[in-house]
Structure 1
Amino acid sequence: MRLHPNAKMVDIRIVEVPYQWKGMVPARETNSEANSCFIILLHEPSGTQHMVKVDGQVSDTEVIARLRAKAKIEFVKLLLGDA
């Protein structure tokens, strides 16, 4: 993965989450019924995508929010070379 030393959290968008989370996340994030265990993120300025494996069976909205935030943090660290 190419490093982006100026990457910011606001540049990262969640593109897709596990389909089982439908109704607990923004509708635009539940795209594929086949996605059962990944959060897919996009660094918009570069077009770089990243996938983070998660437990798709989680049904607690607080846990889901935490997993989404952790995925973004993981991705920004990768982009900055801090991982």
Structure 2
Amino acid sequence: MEEKEVMSFRDEEGNKVDFEAIAKIYLEEQGYLLLSPLDEACEDMFVFRIDINEEGNEELNLVEDDKEFEEVKREYKKLIY
């Protein structure tokens, strides 16, 4: 059985929220990370763009642009079907 990759973040209220990494996708040279909350009551999936900050470190930024989100979603569907 494959081990889940779990990432933890803090929400707006400072509560710890755990996510499972679902997939890492590249569109052209831009990387994206798809995360799903481990909370079984939530079936959402979130798309984060992997950006490089000024120090050269990876930084995850939530994709809020609908067009960009749909492009990543289409690419993910190609992987699973």
Q: TM-score w.r.t. structure 2 length?
A: 0.30
Of the two, which has the highest radius of gyration?
2
Identify, as 1 or 2, the structure richer in helix. 1
Instruction: Kindly indicate whether structure 1 or structure 2 has the higher relative contact order, using CA contacts under 8 Å at least 6 residues apart.
Output: 1
Structure with greater strand percent? 2
